């Protein structure tokens, strides 16, 4: 199994759970936030989806020019947005070459350091996992008790 396939499998083991949590958020709860300083649910979800995509696209193009991109094509429905951006991320990860994963990318404007493509994808995964934990709290606070495991192996 090549590196991009391993990365894709790891991504999907977490994104499947993220998408399941997103599917539990009704449109009338898109503005829900568990504390006054929390992001609203809809903003948290779109942040997760677009951030992972931006990180992965950065690895593909080899520079951080995609940060700050506007995502006007993002569907209003969170489940539809999750499906669309999961598919876009799958396509990008699947297309990554060893050269792209190994090359150094100047991320000093964002993180203060240069990172390899692989390191940047690890940060993307860590970011996704962190916010997936937030989503567990959100959907539990919304009254859902039938929740998935933290990671999916199926």
CATH architecture of 3-141: Up-down Bundle (1.20)
Give me the pLDDT at residue 1, please: 65
Place of tokens 């593909």: 60
Q: How far apart are CA 133 and CA 102, in angstroms?
A: 29
Mean pLDDT of the chain: 95
Alpha helices in 32-77 (DSSP H): 41-61
Report pLDDT digits (tens) over 62-82: 999 988 788 888 889 999 999
Give me the pLDDT at residue 3, please: 87
DSSP SS3 for 116: strand
pTM, full prediction: 0.94
Mean pLDDT of all residues in 13-39: 97
Question: Please, which contacts does 119-125 make with residues 24 or more away whose CB atoms are closer than 8 Å?
Answer: 120/55, 120/58, 120/59, 121/7, 121/55, 121/56, 121/59, 121/93, 123/55, 124/51, 124/52, 124/55, 124/56, 125/10, 125/11, 125/14
Report pLDDT digits (tens) over 84-107: 999 999 999 999 999 999 999 999
Give me the pLDDT at residue 154, please: 67
Confidence band of 142 (pLDDT split at 50, 70, 90): very high
Phi, psi of 145 (to 5 degrees): -120, -20
The count of C-alpha atoms lying within 13 angstroms of the C-alpha of 152, restricted to the half-sphere facing its C-beta, is 17
Q: Where are the domains positioned within the chain? A: 3-141
Mean pLDDT of all residues in 27-55: 96
Mean pLDDT of all residues in 20-46: 97
């Amino acid at each position: 199994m090549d590196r991009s396939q391993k990365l894709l499998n790891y991504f999907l083991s977490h994104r499947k759970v993220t998408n399941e949590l997103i599917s539990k958020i009704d449109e009338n709860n898109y503005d829900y936030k568990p504390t006054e300083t929390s992001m609203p649910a809809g903003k948290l979800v779109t942040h997760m989806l677009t951030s992972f995509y931006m990180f992965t696209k950065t690895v593909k193009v080899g520079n951080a020019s995609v940060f700050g991109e506007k995502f006007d094509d993002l569907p209003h429905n969170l489940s539809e947005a999750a499906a669309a951006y999961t598919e876009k991320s799958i396509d990008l990860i699947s297309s990554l070459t060893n050269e792209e994963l190994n090359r150094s990318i100047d991320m000093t404007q964002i993180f203060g350091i240069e990172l390899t493509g692989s390191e940047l994808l690890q940060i993307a995964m860590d970011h996704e996992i962190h916010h997936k934990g937030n989503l567990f709290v959100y959907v539990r606070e919304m009254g859902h008790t039938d929740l998935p495991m933290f990671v999916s192996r199926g």
